[in-house]
Structure 1
Amino acid sequence: MMSPRTFGAGGVSAINVGRRTLLKGMLGAGALAGLSACGGGDGGGGGGEVTLGSNWSDEVPKKAIADMVKGFSGGGVKVNTIDHNSFQENINNYLQGGPDDVFGWFAGYRMQFFAEQGLIGDISDVWSDIGGGFSDAMKQQSTGADGKQYFVPLYYYPWAIFYRKSLWQEKGYTPPTTMDDLVALSTKMKTDGLNPIAFGDSDGWPAMGTFDYLNLRINGYDFHKELMAGEKPWNSNEVKAVFDAWREILPFHQPDALGRTWQEAAQSLLNKESGMYTIGMFAGQQFPEGPDRDDLDFFTFPEIDPAIGADVVEAPIDGFMMAARPRNEDGAKELLSYLGTAKAEDAYLKSDPNNIGAHDDADKTGYNALQQKGEQLVSGAKSISQFLDRDTRPDFASTVMIPSLQEFIRNPNDVDGLTKSIEDQKKSIFGG
């Protein structure tokens, strides 16, 4: 989850990408077409160079990918980097147009959806080599509905509410444990001249994290999974309660969110203009290494209903998949076998210490305080969700939920109309 930047290495042109415009869509599709030309093919064994499609486009993770690939002792690897959001929004065209041999993607439903359509390759034989290094939960998140493996995990990162310890110490703030406490704290922050909650949703997906946590705290994990699977109505009282709760705290969010990227919102936290921020642990990428990054801390999203509690954590898993018909299948599987090692994860996390290694043997001795706390949060969770746009169909997430949540941010006063619209569109996509 990174912001729009420019297209990266591998012969792809450097083109600035605007947000959610016709021009952007054209550029995104064109760039992916160019990227696809470097990979994909006849599905033969191949040989030589392997192409790796990377959506790690921000400076820190882009360097981490490059450092990790340097440790691969097989053939050459050509990394083709493209802006994260363009990659995500044009993934269907990318997969159908001849993708790279290996490419970055997400675990869980987002992987399973493409596996069922035959758009990604079975790597169960790779898992026979690397499987001993991953927990059963990681293997489950890498497995399709047919019982085969299609994904190699790299890292995960919890979503929580982040803040600067020094600012809170100066102001005498303490982490809230209930929604009432959060409202009281936000009110105090406003009187202190702060934006209580940093917020940037020009990219469309950040608001999903707030929706998910409100839904998980109000309706619970099982309801979340059923809602994402299209099995629960979006115009139900349960969903309306989520939007009603969000409407109550929306005035505490940084204004004009639709014109702000997540990075800009994180920078307002860095600059002590905002008091806290609901975001993933990757927010640390915006904090310079040293005292500023060491000053970053978080608390879990507070409890709303005591009967449900606050022991469900959003912790998306990022990693790699293989094209259904890679040009260099042998090389692709060799690369994936390397990417599924603790050595590869350690190399990545050394350059981007804002995530937690998925491999059981990842070197945790060098973890900073934030990584250690994040690992403890996830390991102690009763249930773990991926993220709205990873727990549901990708077409529903991109064409329905992104514009719907942005419409709610613009006009939070028509919850009935909004939820009816979402439900109507859901039925046309999921059927029934």
Structure 2
Amino acid sequence: MTLQSRTPSPFRAPSRRNVVRGALGVGAAALAAPVLTACGGGPAADPKTVTFGSNGADATPKKAYAGVTGAFTKDSGLKVKTNTVDHDTFQKSISNYLQGTPDDVFTWFAGYRMQFFAKKGLAHPVDDVWDKIGSGFSDAAKQLSKGQDGKYYFVPLYNYPWAVFYRKSVFQERGYQPPATWSAFTALAKQMKKDGLSPIASGYGGGDSWSILGAFDYLNLRANGYDFHMSLMRGEVSWTDKRTSRTLDLWREIAPYYQEGAGGRSWQDAAQSLLDKKSGMAVIGLFLGQQVTDESLRDDIDFFPFPTIDPSFGQDTVEAPTDGFMLSRKPKNLDGSNKLLEFLGSAKAENLYMGVDPSNVAVNSGADTSKYNALQKKSAELISSAKHITQFADRDSDPGFISTVVLPGLTQWLGHPDDGSALLKKIESQRSRFFTA
């Protein structure tokens, strides 16, 4: 397994599906009384203890976090009191949790998701931590860890890229070459269809509608660039902008090459069709590898970056959802919390975590990659070479807007793609409900 599992476990599957479902917009504070509560004490909390709120309830991440916090205790002499809650509950309760008496340090997501709580004053800046760990991270990782005020609020642990995956043997047998440009990509899809393959594996049925966002993001990023894409995600520009129309025009070009019946298929079934050589390509995350149990088959999987559309933007942006840690607004043990975050941001901590849970890619440039499989190594190279890193639409935008407006519209449109003007007008009519100046 190479990345976050999409099976129905309390930690892994919700990392995508429940990010969409757990709408944490302005209305999130209206959630019912949270199950997630702090495990720390009151004002007289033990100065030798740091409390840690974790969403890693599944056996593997729970064991990995225990190993990391245990090593920190051994190095620092500080005890870490961990409050573990299942991933879904953690996300649905976090707004109330942070407004109550949260743990000192807690697990969360980079980018917009972090910035939302930082802007609300529900997180403490960690610039002092970054003064010590900054040399271990790329500029793109630093960018993802800053709030809108320019201060740091996040310490990354791992990420994983989205790309276009394929089987090496299929390409070799049929003489296909990984395309670098849009024209080559569409030509390859056309040839695959002629050869009797489903060119692009796809499954967005039921709770898997989130999976189409990878294609939308990359089309928009490659055609219009990082700045426009992020402005669109943050509600700063109109969805009826001609650049968004251009994104749908491009999507309509490849829609005929999508696997038939995608709206009634899970992403796992779509991924399996790629592994079974019934489909030629899949726009998906590295978690595709969870479908593989035979290591010889894993060795036959490869990927290429989503192709260039506008040469001025090239392939400078990579979708790589990033998970890590934040500091609550009033930590009971600020000094100890900063020390824990410094450790969590170290190559040593990432090595310890990946040693237990090798389903992700370490973010710290000093992490040991010698035990990575080929896909992990290539993933790390792809991410480290990126000028910009995006988090996926449901993490870079208001999740309520994505889950209740954008996703239903895009999935319906993808079933019968037209010029998209009606869809974009409908999405635009709802933008002001979620974003204010």
Decide: shared fold, TM above 0.5: yes
**Partner Cα distance (1:19, 1:122) in 2:** 24
Quick check: 1:102–1:321 contact (8 Å CA) kept in 2? yes
Matched, 1:220 2:225: yes
Percentage of pairs with the same residue? 51
**Structure 1: how far apart are the matches of 2:43 and 2:295?**
46
Contact 2:232 2:239 in 1 (8 A): yes
Measure the CA separation in 2 of the matches of 1:77 and 1:262.
Answer: 37
Q: For residues 122 and 46 of structure 1, do their structure 2 counterparts lie closer, same or farther at Cα, with a shift above 3 Å needed?
A: farther
Counterpart for residue 188 of structure 1: 191
Q: Give the equivalent residue in structure 2 for 1:25.
A: none
Q: What is the CA RMSD across the aligned residues, in angstroms?
A: 3.7
> 1:154-190, CA deviations, whole angstroms, 9 ceiling, x for partnerless residues?
1232221011212322333221222232223223333
Distance 1:374 1:322, change over 3 A: same
The AA in structure 1 aligned to 2:301 is L
Q: Residues 359 and 40 from structure 1, CA distance in 2 versus in 1: closer, same or farther, beyond 3 angstroms? A: same
> What letter is aligned with 1:36?
L
List runs of 5+ in structure 1 lacking aligned partners: 10-16, 23-27
Displacement of 1:52 after TM fit? 4.3
Q: In structure 2, do the counterparts of structure 1 residues 115 and 168 end up closer, same or farther at CA, with 3 Å as the change threshold? A: same
Residues 33/66 of structure 1: CA separation in 2 closer, same or farther (3 Å cut): farther
Task: Name the structure 2 match of 1:273.
Answer: 278
Give SS of 2:185's match. helix
Displacement after TM superposition at 1:376 (Å): 2.9
CA contact (8 A) 2:111 2:145 kept: yes
Out of 244, 248, 256, the residue aligned to residue 251 of structure 1 is 256
Kindly indicate whether the alpha-carbon contact (under 8 Å) linking 2:39 and 2:83 is maintained by their aligned counterparts in 1: no
More deviation in 328-337 or 354-363?
A: 328-337
Distance in 2, Cα, partners of 1:392 & 1:278: 20
Are residues 1:177 and 2:180 paired?
yes
Contact 2:141–2:389 under 8 Å retained in 1: no
Distance 2:293 2:287 in 1: 13
Contact 2:249 2:419 in 1 (8 A): no
Counterparts in 2 of 1:393 and 1:18: CA distance versus 1, 3 Å = closer
Distance 1:256 1:48 in 2: 57
1:376 pairs with 2:376:
no
Amino acid at match of 1:376: E
Residue 75 of structure 1: which of 66, 73, 79 is its match? 79
Structure 2 length-normalised TM: 0.81
Partner of 2:147: 144
TM-fit CA distance, 1:112: 1.3
Aligned residues: 419
Counterpart secondary structure, 1:297: strand
Task: Describe how 1:123-138 pairs up with structure 2 within 5 A.
Answer: 123-138=126-141
Cα distance in 2, alignment partners of residues 42 and 225 from structure 1: 40
Q: Is the 8 A contact 1:63 1:351 kept in 2?
A: yes
Deviation, 1:405, is 2.5
The CA distance in 2 between the partners of 1:244 and 1:379, in whole Å, is 31
2:156 counterpart residue number: 153
Matches of 2:85 and 2:293, distance apart in 1? 23
1:36 equivalent in alignment to 2:40? no
CA contact (8 A) 1:176 1:302 kept: yes
Aligned residue in 2 for 1:390? 395
Unaligned runs of 5+ in 2: 12-16, 23-27
Give the drift of 1:199. 2.1
Structure 2 CA distance for aligned equivalents of residues 268 and 65 of structure 1: 34
Which residue does the alignment assign to 2:14?
none
Residue aligned with 2:165, SS: strand
**Are 1:115 and 2:115 counterparts?**
no
The one-letter code matched in structure 2 to 1:245 is L
Looking at structure 2, the residues matched to 386 and 289 of structure 1 have their Cα atoms a distance apart, in angstroms, of 30
What's 2:422 paired with? 417
**Could you tell me how far apart the structure 2 residues matched to 1:378 and 1:193 are?**
33
Aligned to 2:386, the other structure's residue is in SS state: coil
Alignment partner, residue 345 of structure 1: 350
Are the counterparts in 2 of residues 6 and 83 from structure 1 also a CA contact under 8 Å? no
Deviation at 1:131, TM superposition (A): 3.4
Shift of 1:19: 11
- Whole-Å Cα distance in 2 between the matches of residues 337 and 123 of structure 1? 10
Distance 1:287 1:409 in 2: 29
Which digits, 9 at most, give the CA deviation of each residue in 1:238-283, with x for residues without a partner? Answer: 1112112212312322344444443443333333333221122233
Secondary structure of the residue aligned to 1:205 is: helix
Distance 1:62 1:32, change over 3 A: farther
